Amino acid sequence: MVSSNFCPFCGAPAPAPPASVCRYCKYSWMPPGAALVAAPGPAPRPVAPCASFAGLSLEETVAMARRHLGPLGATDIHFAPQIPADKERNVRRIHGGHLPPEEPIAVLYDSTLFGSAEEGVVLTARRLCWKNSFFNPQALPWRSVELTSLQRSKADVMVLGGAVGCLNEEVARAMLALLTELAGEAQRRMPPVASASASHADGMIELVRRHLGVRDELFVAPAIPEKKERNVRKLHRIGPEERVLTLYDNTVFGSAEEGFVLTDQRFCWKESFEDPCSTPWGQLSAGQVALRDAAEGFLEVQGRPLRLIGVHRDELSVGLVALLHAMSEGRTLYR
C-alpha cells in the first residue's frame, strides 16, 4: 500500500496540498479525506501503484518511438492508438505474467511471419517486454535497464545479456536508439524518493537483475510459471506466506525441480541426486559461498554443491556468487 505521500495512481511523490495535479499521471491530488478525481480529459484506467513507474507518459513514449521507428515505414510496427485489437490480445496473453491488463501499450513490433504478434517487442511507459522464437517472454521495468548493457549484435539488441530480437539490422539500430532514450529519460525522471514505497522484495529482485541479467532459464516474479512455482514450493516446503522471487530451472524438461530459488526469506537449491537444501538469508555468510569452476558452472553453498547446466552457466555462476555475497551482507536497494 502506497502512503498518502505518494500518488495512488502511479506511485510517484504526491504534490503538496491544496489539490494539485500529479506531474506524472495527471491525477488530481486532493486534501486528506477528500475524493480523488481525474484531471480534465479522458480518465485513465487505474493501475496498481508500482515501484517501477518510470515517470514517462504514454504520449511521450509514443512520440519517442515515432521519432526513431516511424521513418522505417515498417508495416509490422504499430503505435498507440492504432494497435490492431487481435495483436494486442495476443501480446497481452503472452506477456500476461508481467504486463498488467490496465497498462496501455505504446508500441508493438510484430516480428512474426504471419502477423500474430506472439513474438516481437512491446513498449509501455513503464517497461520493455519482448518474446523471441522458441524462448520465454521477458520484461524489464525501465529502471532495471542498464544503459551500459545496451548494444547491438547484428539484428539483436542486447540488454543485460538478453537478446531482443529484431528482423533486420535497420530495425535493430533504430530500436537500440529508442530503448537507450526511453530508459535514460525514464531513469532521469525517477522520483528520488520512489524507493520509499518499494518493498524489501523489490530490492532483492533488482539485485537479481543486476547480477544475473536476463536468461531464458531464469524466471523473476511476477512472471514465474504457475507449474514451476508449484513444484519448487512442494520440493522446498515453501509456505504460502513466503514469496518466491526468482527461480532458475536447471532441468532439461522444465520441471524446475533442480536449480535454485530465491524467496524473500531464504535461498534454496537442489542438485541432481542430492537432497534439497535451503538457508535463511540471516544464516548465510559470504565465506560460505565459493565459486569452484566457472566454466562448468560449479559453486558451493555452505559446503553443498550447485551446478548450473545452462548455456550461460559460466556467467551465471559468477553472477550468482556475487548476488549471494550481496544478500549475505544484507545489501538490497531499498533497505
Tell me how far apart the terminal alpha carbons of the chain are, to the nearest angstrom. Answer: 17
Greatest mean pLDDT among 49-53, 201-205, 218-222 lies in 218-222
Is pLDDT at 152 greater than 90 in this prediction? yes
Residue 3: per-residue pLDDT: 37
Residue 316 has pLDDT above 60, yes or no: yes
For residues 265 and 237, membership in a common domain is answered with: yes
The amino acid at 335: R
Decide if pLDDT at 35 tops 60.
no
Does residue 73 lie within any of the structural domains?
yes
Whether 276 contacts 236, CB under 8 Å = yes
pLDDT at 300: 97
Residue 133 lies in a domain: yes
Q: Which three cell numbers stand for residue 316?
A: 551465471
Domain co-membership, 179 together with 112: yes
The pLDDT assigned to 21 comes to 59
Count of domains for the chain: 3
User: What whole-number distance in Å separates Cα of residue 201 and Cα of residue 112?
Assistant: 35
The answer to whether residue 95 is domain-embedded is yes
CATH number of the domain that residue 78 is part of: 2.30.29
Tell me what percent of the residues of the chain surpass a pLDDT of 90.
Answer: 72
Q: What pLDDT score was predicted for residue 236?
A: 98
Q: Say yes or no: 72 and 184 in one domain.
A: yes
> Which pLDDT score is estimated for 47?
38
The strand order across the sheet containing 151-153 reads 151-153, 156-159, 162-165
Handedness of CA 17, 21, 23, 26 (dihedral sign): positive
Confidence at 29, pLDDT banded by 50, 70, 90? very low
- The whole domain housing 158 covers 58-189
pLDDT of 46 strictly over 60: no
Cis peptide bond N-terminal to 15, omega within 30: no
Same domain, 24 and 73: no
Stronger pLDDT, 40 or 61, i.e. the higher one = 61
Residue 7 within a domain: yes
The grid coordinates listed for 208 are: 537479481
* Cα 306 from Cα 298, distance rounded (Å): 6
- Asked if 156 and 223 sit in the same domain, the reply is no
Q: Are residues 27 and 91 in the same domain?
A: no
Based on the fold, state whether residues 41 and 76 are members of the same structural domain.
no
Residues above pLDDT 70, as percent of the chain: 80
Q: Is residue 333, in this structure, part of any structural domain at all?
A: no
Of 154, 189, 224, which residue constitutes the final position of a domain? Answer: 189
Q: For position 30, what pLDDT does the model report?
A: 41
Burial of 315 (0-12, 13-18, 19+ CB in 10 A): middle
pLDDT for position 189: 85
pLDDT of residue 194: 45
Is pLDDT larger for residue 288 or for residue 1?
288
| 90 within some domain | yes
User: Is the pLDDT reported for residue 81 higher than 80?
Assistant: yes
Mean pLDDT score, 222-245: 95
> Considering the entire predicted model, what is its pTM?
0.77
Q: Do 100 and 177 fall into the same domain? A: yes
Mean pLDDT of 301-307: 96
Q: Is residue 194 part of a domain?
A: no
> Which among 29, 49, 69 is the end of a domain?
49
Of the residues 10, 31, 49, which one is the last residue of a structural domain?
49
- Nearest Cα to 187, choosing from 155, 215, 149, 132? 149
Q: Are residues 252 and 308 in the same domain?
A: yes
pLDDT at 149 over 90: yes
Residue 258 phi, psi (nearest 5): -130, 145
Q: What SS3 string covers the chain?
A: CCCCCECCCCCCECCCCCCEECCCCCEEECCCCCCCCECCCCCCCCCCCCCCCCCCCHHHHHHHHHHHHHHHCCCCEEECCCCCHHHHHHHHHHCCCCCCCCCCCCEEEECCCCCCCCCEEEECCCEEEEECCCCCCEEEEHHHCCHHHCEEECCEEEECCEEEECCCHHHHHHHHHHHHHHHHHHHHHCCCCHHHHCCHHHHHHHHHHHHHCCCCCEEECCCCCHHHHHHHHHHHCCCCCCCEEEEEECCCCCCCCCEEEEECCEEEEECCCCCCEEEEHHHCCHHHEEEEECCCCEEEECCEEEECCCCCHHHHHHHHHHHHHHHHCCCCCCC
For residue 272, tell me if it sits in a domain: yes
Do 213 and 250 have their domain in common? yes
- Is there a single domain that holds both residue 67 and residue 182? yes
Both 73 and 137 in one domain: the answer is yes
